[in-house]
Amino acid sequence: MIKPQLKPTADQTFVIVADEKDRDWNFADIIAYSRRQEQEGDIEGACNTRFHAFQRLEELIPDNGETILEWNDQNSQAALVLIHCSAIDHFLIGDWEMCAAMLEMLLELDPEDHLEATIRLAYSYLAMEEYDSFDDIANDISDKFADKEILTLWSAFRRTGQLPVGEVHGFCKRFRPYYNEFTADEHPVDDDYIRDVDSENPRPETLARELWLQTEHLWSIFPGFIEALKAAPVA
């Protein structure tokens, strides 16, 4: 049996090589298995499956030197996706420190940030009040994402307890469906939402609700931000 190892490529990246029969290193299959666990209602088991696979991968990555995994290699890409999934698991239970550590590792392995891990990392930094770390990566988030506006607003609120009026107006103007969703009293996960979010081209309103649902636990823990957003005057 081939021992799991990192094999260098001509592009100065690495691919994960392991025996085909060793299921512990087939990351696509591990992700698929964890999804089946979720569908069967075993959420804790799914999270543990992903985290244990992450721990094995972490042991394989050397502490010193630069290690970039090859995105175009199927198993190496699946390994990156698995790290991201496990980081989200920790994000959703409010373990910001572990989530941030995993996403920092992910960005070292994938500097091009194919999975847009910087966005979730920014939320985690603000939750931990790691403002210098947030400032270091904030400009790496594209202005095309509503997350950028939300993070800018939440950053100001976390630091000062106030929302900058101009930024609130900008959020409302540029990302109206998101503003409407984040200031709504209800966020139903109904049949229309489920059908649209799984479609090829979800409506902006559906994407806004998806982002709310992805971050809802944040606003439960830090409710002042949403309360202030609802109370802020907009033109």
pLDDT digits (tens, 9 = 90+) for 28-81: 999 999 999 999 999 999 999 999 999 999 999 998 889 999 999 999 999 999
Task: List CB contacts of 42: < 8 A, sequence separation 6 or more.
Answer: none
Q: Whole-angstrom Cα distance, residue 227 to residue 161?
A: 11
**For the chain, which residues make up each domain, given as ranges?**
1-129, 142-235
DSSP annotation of 12: S
User: Nearest-CA neighbor of 30 among 15, 45, 10, 9?
Assistant: 45
pTM above 0.75, yes or no: yes
Residue 235 has pLDDT above 70, yes or no: no
pLDDT digits (tens, 9 = 90+) for 74-129: 999 999 999 999 999 999 999 999 999 999 999 999 999 999 999 999 999 999 99
**Check: CATH 1.25.40.10 for 1-129?**
yes
**CB-based contact 120:91 (threshold 8 Å):** yes
